[in-house]
């Protein structure tokens, strides 16, 4: 086909970073004739080469060298995971752009959820390490990284194996200290800059002082304080390294730091053996409940063993009967429902049907002018349409609002590690930008089948920007360090006695849990107050739960558990509440919010199946206090366009988790 045969303008447009590189129309060619057409094409091609921006060429030089999941190549389901990405610029011009990351659906090849955006700048002939924080569901998912519009401007991650937590040995990237069988090596310069990205990390072995800047030192300190397990080996000189937590570099060597535990080994890295690692290190980091796949195989195995490599294909999907990832956001969406007048709507529907028939038939039998019959039909249809629009429309006092439930774990200096689930409801459509509370928030959508018209930005400017139609919901999860004030609890006395059968009024199975010792009373001293009003509290000790005297807890004096305190099984407290709330929809808003505390506790305990309850037991000398309270004002979602204003009205609940250490000299037997 010649250019003369073209009957309409044809525009050829190539775009990169929003800039139009080349546009050409055939209209001038048709007017000028053939001898001018080829000259015109040559001129446009020359202009295309000149106008083509440098970054278009530079994009072909950007390459993702690797994308490593977690700390040992595996990911933890139902939480935010660390994804370390190595990017290299092979070109002679700098690259400045945006790295986009999204979850791929293996069945269709499309992606779901909202994209994670990360602004990057890479100098010519240089490399850079980036860290993203995707939320992993129950399946090991494939994620795609994209930095341009071309087919080659993309990189797909490997499908990660799942785990309940990683055990690693920190490696010096300069000394290249290698790995040990039983422990995978993790470069210490890859350690994240915030504790909210360390959920996949369970145990760290250290034999040198990492050269960390302050954010990484603080993140490591917070991880250990929150409940991490640290094993310290001697350096080649025979001395212990300087641990990046000043409080630990003293004599005698501390064995506890907050909820964390520290073990000191009189040996060097070269003296470690697989048997020693299994016996002395693995044994100190057992989970309360193991994560398993659908075949019943546990994820808690040695990632350096041949068994792990051989069974690699089986470790992709975790099994859960209590699906908190779907249950919590679904119930949050159902929290705000319009109070429709359904009896009146049903009655009007019946009247409308009767008006059409036999009403229409009777009007015809009257043998009136057909024009009046049509007018009557129009009036009936229009009138009932208006009535239905009024009776069925939204507008029963709804307003833009946010409902949240959260779990908070203690960090040093009055800060808390907060995991929060938010449900946004808007009455007018538009683009909304919501910033989660706290410092260094990371956010994620939790849908695994739906593509969300929005973007996620994590880190110090973390926010969720989304397009929402009117009268719709959107749920998302967030994680952040939030200053909620100092609260310290110290166990003064714990009186225990031989176990007695559980009360038949409170236990699903009388006598369940008789193999543990009963906690008769627990006296604690508290310092500081919690940031919101307490509604109820529970204590987990051994394999049983106890109701707490809230007044005694608030006053910080006396026993928070006494002889009248009711003891019941974990299964009664959690599984029965799951069933009750699923059936009971006729509750007040406060009752609905109060039910979320049971789910958040089950999620914190990593209870995914009913069979997990039989394995649940806190170690001796430990107790866990769960305080259910109103959501504090510090956790209100903010309008990113106006940080001083909340995103509509806000209500919710929070569960404070406070780990208690019971020293041996505080235990009184009875």
- The reported pLDDT for the residue numbered 389 is 76
Q: For residues 376 and 403, is the Cβ–Cβ distance under 8 A?
A: no
Q: Greater confidence, 386 or 68?
A: 68
DSSP alpha helix (H) spans, 445-588: 550-555, 570-583
Residue-wise pLDDT for 348-383, tens only, equals 888 888 888 888 778 777 777 878 888 888 888 898
Average pLDDT of span 38-56: 50
Bridge partners (DSSP) of residue 258 are none
- The reported pLDDT for the residue numbered 116 is 93
Average pLDDT of span 562-578: 53
Q: For residues 338 and 396, is the Cβ–Cβ distance under 8 A?
A: yes
Q: Which of 303-312, 393-402, 409-418 has the lowest mean pLDDT?
A: 303-312
Q: What b/e string do you get for 245-254 counting C-beta neighbours within 10 Å, with b at 16 or more?
A: beebeeeeeb
pLDDT > 80? residue 204: yes
Q: Which two tokens stand for residue 442?
A: 């990371």
Residue-wise pLDDT for 490-535, tens only, equals 999 888 876 555 443 443 333 333 445 778 888 888 888 898 899 9
pLDDT > 50? residue 97: yes
The β-bridge relationship of strands 154-156 and 143-146 is: antiparallel
The DSSP secondary structure of 84-99, one letter per residue, reads: EEEEEE-SSS-EEEEE
Give the residue among 279, 77, 292, 311 at the shortest CA–CA distance from 182: 279
- The reported pLDDT for the residue numbered 471 is 79
Average pLDDT of span 130-151: 88
Q: What percent of the chain has pLDDT over 90?
A: 35
- The reported pLDDT for the residue numbered 42 is 59
pTM metric for this prediction: 0.81
- The reported pLDDT for the residue numbered 439 is 84
The full length of the chain comes to 670
Q: Rounded mean pLDDT of the chain?
A: 80
Average pLDDT of span 168-195: 87
- The reported pLDDT for the residue numbered 579 is 47
Q: For residues 205 and 190, is the Cβ–Cβ distance under 8 A?
A: no
- The reported pLDDT for the residue numbered 495 is 85
> What gap in Å lies between CA 95 and CA 77, rounded to an integer?
34
Give the residue among 269, 194, 291, 327 at the shortest CA–CA distance from 606: 291
Confidence grade of residue 395 (pLDDT, cut at 50, 70, 90): low
Q: Which of 59-63, 273-277, 487-491 has the lowest mean pLDDT?
A: 59-63
DSSP classification of residue 448: S
- The reported pLDDT for the residue numbered 262 is 97
- The reported pLDDT for the residue numbered 566 is 54
Q: For residues 274 and 181, is the Cβ–Cβ distance under 8 A?
A: yes
């Amino acid at each position: 086909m010649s250019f003369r045969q073209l009957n309409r303008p044809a525009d050829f447009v190539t775009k990169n970073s929003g800039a139009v590189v080349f546009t050409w129309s055939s209209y001038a060619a048709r007017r000028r004739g053939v001898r001018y057409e080829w000259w015109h094409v040559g001129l446009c091609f020359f202009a295309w080469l000149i106008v083509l921006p440098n970054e278009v060429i530079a994009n072909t030089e950007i390459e993702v060298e690797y994308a490593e999941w977690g700390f040992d190549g595996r990911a933890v389901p139902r939480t935010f995971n660390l994804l370390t990405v190595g990017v290299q610029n092979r070109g002679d011009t700098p690259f400045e752009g945006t790295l986009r990351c999204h979850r791929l659906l293996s069945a269709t090849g499309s992606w779901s959820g909202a994209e994670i955006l990360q602004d990057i700048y890479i100098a010519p002939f240089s490399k850079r390490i980036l860290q993203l924080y995707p939320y992993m569901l129950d399946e090991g998912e494939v994620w795609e990284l994209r930095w341009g519009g071309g087919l080659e401007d993309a990189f797909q991650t490997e499908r990660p194996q799942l785990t309940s937590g990683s055990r690693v040995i920190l490696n010096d990237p300069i000394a290249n200290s290698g790995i040990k069988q039983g422990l995978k090596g993790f470069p210490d310069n890859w350690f994240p800059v915030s504790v909210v990205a360390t959920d996949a990390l369970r145990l760290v072995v250290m034999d040198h002082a990492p050269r960390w800047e302050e954010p990484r030192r603080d993140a490591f300190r917070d991880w250990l304080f929150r409940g991490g397990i640290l094993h310290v080996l001697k350096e080649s000189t025979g001395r212990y390294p300087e641990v990046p937590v000043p409080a630990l570099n003293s004599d005698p060597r501390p064995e506890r730091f907050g909820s964390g535990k520290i073990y000191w080994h009189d040996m060097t890295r070269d003296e470690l053996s697989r048997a020693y690692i299994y016996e002395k290190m693995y044994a100190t980091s057992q989970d309360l409940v193991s994560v398993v796949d659908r075949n019943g195989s546990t994820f808690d195995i040695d990632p350096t063993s041949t068994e792990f490599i051989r069974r690699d294909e089986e470790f992709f999907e975790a099994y859960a009967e209590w699906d908190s990832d779907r249950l919590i956001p679904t119930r949050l969406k159902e929290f705000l429902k319009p109070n429709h007048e359904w009896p009146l709507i049903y009655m009007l529907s019946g009247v409308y049907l009767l008006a059409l028939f036999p009403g229409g038939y009777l009007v015809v039998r009257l043998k009136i002018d057909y024009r009046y019959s049509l007018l009557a039909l129009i009036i009936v249809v229009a009138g009932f349409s208006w009535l239905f629009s009024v009776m069925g429309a939204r507008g029963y006092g709804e307003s833009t609002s946010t409902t949240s439930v959260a779990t908070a774990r203690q960090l040093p200096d009055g800060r808390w590690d907060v995991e929060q689930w938010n449900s946004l409801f808007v009455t007018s459509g538009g683009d909304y930008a919501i910033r989660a509370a706290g410092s260094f928030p990371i956010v994620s959508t939790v849908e695994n089948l739906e593509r969300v018209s929005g973007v996620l930005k994590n880190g110090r400017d973390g926010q969720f920007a989304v397009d929402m139609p009117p009268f719709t919901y959107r749920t998302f999860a967030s994680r952040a360090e939030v200053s909620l004030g100092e609260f310290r609890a110290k166990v003064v006395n714990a009186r225990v006695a031989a176990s007695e059968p559980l009360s038949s009024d409170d236990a699903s199975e009388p006598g369940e849990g008789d193999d543990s010792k009963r906690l008769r009373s627990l006296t604690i001293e508290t310092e500081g107050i919690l940031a919101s009003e307490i509604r109820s509290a529970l204590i987990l000790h051994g394999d049983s739960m106890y109701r707490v005297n809230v007044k005694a807890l608030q006053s910080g004096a006396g026993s928070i558990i006494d002889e009248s305190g009711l003891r019941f099984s974990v299964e009664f407290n959690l599984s029965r509440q799951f069933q009750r709330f699923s059936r009971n929809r006729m509750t007040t808003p406060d009752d609905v919010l109060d039910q979320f505390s049971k789910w958040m506790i089950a999620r914190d305990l990593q209870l995914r199946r009913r069979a997990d309850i039989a394995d649940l037991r806190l170690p001796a000398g430990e107790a866990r206090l769960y305080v259910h309270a109103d959501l504090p004002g510090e956790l209100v979602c903010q309008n990113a366009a106006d940080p001083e204003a909340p995103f509509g009205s806000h209500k919710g609940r929070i569960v404070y988790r406070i780990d208690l250490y019971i020293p041996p000299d505080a235990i009184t037997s009875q």
